[in-house]
A and B are shown apart, each in its own frame.
Chain A
Amino acid sequence: MIPVLLIAIPLLSGLIGFAIKNSNSAKNWSLFTAIITLAVAVYGLTLDKKAPGLQFDAEWIFALGSRFSLALDGLSQLLTLLTAISFPVILIATYNTSYKNAKNFYALMMLSMAGIMGVFLATDALLFYFFWELALIPVYFLCSQWGGEKRIAATFKFFIYTFIGSLLMLVGIIYLYLHTANHSFALKDFYGLHATIAPKDQAWLFWLFFIAFAIKMPIFPFHTWQPDTYEQSPAAVTMVLSGIMVKMGLFGLLRWLGPILPMGTWVWGDTASGLCIIGMIYASLVAMRQDDLKRLVAYSSIAHIGLMCLAIFATTEIALQGVMIQMFNHGINIIALWIVVDLIERQMGTRKISELGGLAKKAPALAILLMIVALANIALPLTNAFVGELLMFSGIYSSEATKYNVVFTTTAAVCVILSAIYMLNMIQKVFFGETNALTEKAMDIRWNEKIILGVVVVLIFVIGVFPQPALEFTKTTVEMILTKMNFKN
């Protein structure tokens, strides 16, 4: 029942939310239900992996052979947990923001949460597709209704982009469906296809899925929607998009594309890896030239996601474990970065790095917290991201899936230097130096913001120093994915 609850609670919360008149009650209602969802997710962690409560299966669209089946394994537990933690954090961090039509805003937020949960939980391809779209639609409205000045253009681009990707994926899903023995959408039947579908068909099928996922992550050159959308969206939505929704692309690779089409993945692995690396370097360099804090974080995220995608194609246990832990780390770290950006914007009325300066003197607590999050973002040892990056890079270096493993690792690792450059530049220009007329008035952060950022900082260090329990958690899933991905015909 737990997987159903993880979807149903936010779904109902959203639907009820539309009917709540008072905007404060709507806010509290969605925060309350988000916390309940978190409690359910945490309870799920305590259960044995084989417990029946972690699976769900029911009749859905009988005529098509599609079932409403959900499952929690290591991978989906990790990502649903990330989702369940992120939403309360986001809602608390942006608690002081007031929106027009607030009830609709919060209701849509919860609906997107339900959709995201469904994406991570579905073990039926049609259901997966259904949730994939369901997660997108509320976000579309959130951006276009509550976004910045250029929101219409940005959301249009975002929507068309991801929608084209989704359609390609739908074609792929239908093709696979037609090739299952008993015309089924079930994940396990899809997993049986790796040997029956010829490598040359796997090769073109690969792109139908990969483009859909690559747009979502995003991978160069499918990325241009992202900085625009992040820039124009309200902070809370940006957090959802960058903290959680980009993981849908990585998740798609791990759960669907890699294991189902191992030969296709193998054939195109080097090409896709090349795109990832170009994107990493490209995004890091472009990040160096950004004056808008939001765009800077957006490009930095493209670089980080590129590394995770690259590590998936390495198909080694070390690399995949790195991806697992890093998906979680990236989620909380980037949300923390957005919180800081949002705090600065709300107070100063600008996100322009060149207009800020000297904030460390006026807001020392904010400066310290941002410093820690920024250091985690550049993977300093004893922060959570170091563990992920160490594992991913080591795994890519020892990969046997490609003969360019050394070139890939060394080129990608240049981002270790570049990320330090753009993050430290940003810190210097925003926090150090003398205050100017604008920053002279700045105040330090409030207690609720302190607590939320404090929680993230604690998580950063706990995972950074004791990563082993988290790694144990995803071990069996990783092994399962690996055996499927390493299938050779």
Chain B
Amino acid sequence: MSKLVYLVPLFPLAGFLINGLLRKKLSKSVIGIIGCGTVLASFIVSLLIFTEVRKEGFQPVLVNLFDFIHVGALQISFAFQVDQLSSLFLLIITGVGFLIHLYSTSYMHDEENEHYARYFSYLNLFVFSMLILVLGANFVILFIGWEGVGLCSYLLIGFWFKNIDYSTAAKKAFIMNRIGDFGFLIAIFWMISKFGSVEFTEVFAKSSSTSVAVLTGITLLLFVGATGKSAQIPLYTWLPDAMAGPTPVSALIHAATMVTAGVYMVARSNIMYTLSPITQTVVAIVGLATATFAATIALKQNDIKKVLAYSTVSQLGYMFLGLGVGAYTGAVFHVMTHAFFKALLFLGAGSIIHALHEQDIRKMGGMKKLMPITHITFLLACFAIAGIPPFSGFFSKDEILAAAYEKNPVYYIVGVLTALMTAVYMFRLYATTFLGKFRGTEEQKHHVHESPSAITIPLIILAILAVVAGFIGIPEVFANDSHWLQHFLSPIFAASEKAHPTPVAAKSTEWMLMAVSVIAAAIGVIYAWARFSKKPELGEPQGFGKILANKWYVDEFYDTIIVKPLNAFANFLNEVVEKSIIDWLVNGVGRTVQYSSRQIRLLQSGQVGGYILLMVISLVILFLVEIFVKK
């Protein structure tokens, strides 16, 4: 079955082409069936592959499709790699992806036929790109998917292209990603020059015999790429703006595709990161800083999608913290649990937005009774992201925090504080939206009802997953060999484990750490519930809250120090250098030529006497030259 892995990306590609090319001819139901069916087919193939991969002693399978580029000693094959890591991601992408497609059939139903088809074709292309990203057997194929998801996010964020703000957000996403890709590309060039190859097997094998300085450089550059794609400091600002797209797209970007790409890439190249301690420290600190920073912003946002967006940035920060401290399994585990609860949160938010046509939580309230299924699933997701046991987020986050403690207790403390904030902003969101009285208009209230089953079924499935997914990674303190995921992924991280064994904490320490983080989360939940269910924050924030509400003014800061100076400089080049200096010089040459030819023309006066005089003078000069110079 692994040999047939090319089918997994092939189905969505076919769906993209069919819906894209025939968008004017197909009916909505056909479009929906093609859009969802292709991803479902990929999911089924992925499941079959997974059953094969999960067998004990499975060896990675390389499926070489064709020679992509072969110049001199450089050989880049268009090849897919099937192993534990890629097969796990295949399941997440196609599984969660399918649910989002299904959800979209209802959510986007009001669009015109043509745009409905355009939407699904982009969605399929998105899934296709992400599949290429995780399947690629070398950095170039990975990069194809990497830029592919960047393109798809651009297309989908700007889906409603008539709104110029939306297309600006789309553009921002693409350019921010490009800045990251710049780093990624340089890393690729470096690898080609250093290793003569970009194939994973070859690069990783040669890593252990490469100088730490080179590895540090390459890994840092790759990480620059990850900060763009996975929205880390300093390139995270595109993700909150990406809310401009339709809500299911946000779910897709935040859960199944795109932002997890950076985590996947680092996990994939884990050996290179393990061997460069400086990079690891940078990754851990950037991750932690992003987690905390984004959480503070999320505390004061009033747009339901914005809160979720910053929570994604924050949760991704946790994942990078995990990668930085060497808890690769923990990071991948968190990718998975996060995929479930974050998809659920966004789809739940979409369900409300669809019903109310409103995104400001200050104008919601009391949705508990109005939309019971949305309410209960959303609540479960909130528990999961807050890290309340036994919901899934608890297990994955706890694993990262425990590893962070072993590396540096400060990481742990900041991490727990952030977990506290997470609980506060999520339950602020929950309480303001679902509890209390309905604050919308009478007309809205009249129209609100629970969403149709194409929307609620994905919610229910995701809710179940968000609750139980943690059990595949039960910490060893509970029972021996209970961490199935760690066991499953161990071949991927074997080399790193060998180079740098993960320190195992004493059981008592681990109980203590767990207790502290659970208590912190519980405090957050209780505080926010009590604080916001009765009296939601409805006014404009003041003082420090205002700074948070304005996202620390980072966008304004970038605008002042980068965008404006760059534009001014470009203007200067265009207006001054190009027109007044270079062109002036060029035209100056022309003017001089014209001027001198006018002067020389005067010599041709038509008077024979003048010519003879000139001839004589010239002859004399010639003679003198002959006599004195040419001796």
Q: Which residues of A contact B (CB under 8 A)?
A: 157, 160-161, 221, 224-225, 282, 285-286, 288-290, 317-318, 321, 358, 360-361, 364, 375, 380-382, 387, 390-391, 393-394, 396-398, 409-410, 413-414, 416-417, 420-421, 424-425, 428, 431-434, 466-468, 471
Contacts and interface: CB of A to CB of B under 8 A. Distances in A.
Given A290-B574, A468-B67, A417 B178 contact: yes
B581 to A, nearest CB: 9
B218 to A, nearest CB: 12
A382 B152 CA distance: 14
Contact of B186 (A321, A391, A413, A471): A413
A398 B162 contact: no
A432 B162 contact: yes
A420 B175 contact: yes
B151 A380 contact: yes
B61 interface: no
B73 to A, nearest CB: 9
A424 B182 contact: no
Contacts of B189: 393-394, 396-398, 409
Interface string B147-162: 1100100100010011
A471 B70 contact: yes
The interface residues of chain B, by DSSP majority, are classed as helix
B425 interface: no
A157 B586 contact: yes
A420 B178 contact: yes
Q: Which of A375, A414, A420, A471 has the most CB of B within 10 A?
A: A420
A62 B115 CA distance: 69
Contacts of A380: 147, 151
Given A286-B574, A381-B148, A416-B182, 10 more contacts: A224-B578, A318-B74, A361-B162, A381-B144, A394-B188, A396-B189, A416-B185, A433-B167, A467-B68, A468-B68
B624 interface: no
A417 B72 contact: no
B169 to A, nearest CB: 11
A409 B186 contact: yes
Given A375-B151, A417-B182, A468-B68, A390 B570 contact: no
Given A413-B182, A416-B178, A467-B69, A428 B162 contact: no
A431 B170 CA distance: 14
Nearest to A419: B178
B143 interface: yes
Given A224-B582, A468-B67, A468-B69, A424 B573 contact: no
A200 B168 CA distance: 54
B479 interface: no
A416 B69 contact: no
Contacts of A288: 567, 570
A428 B167 contact: yes
B144 A432 contact: no
B544 interface: no
Contacts of A318: 71-72, 74, 192
Given A160-B590, A286-B573, A471-B70, A428 B185 contact: no
A32 to B, nearest CB: 32
A364 B114 CA distance: 10
A414 B183 CA distance: 10
B185 A432 contact: no
Contacts of A428: 164, 167-168, 171
Nearest to A317: B72
B436 to A, nearest CB: 39
A390 B140 contact: yes
B405 interface: no
A224 B585 CA distance: 10
Contacts, number: 130
Contact of A434 (B114, B146, B162, B168): B162
B108 to A, nearest CB: 18
Nearest to B583: A224
A321 B192 CA distance: 15
28 contacts: A221-B585, A282-B573, A285-B574, A289-B573, A289-B575, A290-B574, A318-B192, A321-B72, A361-B162, A364-B114, A380-B151, A381-B148, A382-B144, A390-B140, A394-B193, A409-B186, A413-B186, A414-B182, A416-B178, A416-B182, A417-B182, A420-B175, A420-B178, A425-B171, A428-B167, A432-B164, A434-B162, A467-B68
Contacts of B181: 416
A60 B569 CA distance: 54
A10 to B, nearest CB: 32
Nearest to A361: B162
B162 A433 contact: yes
Contacts of B69: 387, 390-391, 467-468, 471
B264 interface: no
Contact of B71 (A224, A225, A317, A434): A317
B127 to A, nearest CB: 16
A102 B13 CA distance: 46
A466 B114 CA distance: 31
Contact of B164 (A317, A393, A417, A433): A433
Given A381-B143, A467-B68, A420 B174 contact: yes
Contact of B570 (A157, A285, A321, A364): A285
Interface in B49-76: 66-72, 74
Nearest to A428: B167
Nearest to A282: B573
Contacts of A361: 161-162
Contacts of B193: 394, 397-398
A167 B189 CA distance: 40
B190 interface: yes
Interface string B560-582: 00000011011101110110001
B41 interface: no
Q: Which of B144, B168, B178 has the most CB of A within 10 A?
A: B178
Given A224-B586, A286-B578, A421 B192 contact: no
Q: Which of B71, B140, B146, B578 has the most CB of A within 10 A?
A: B71
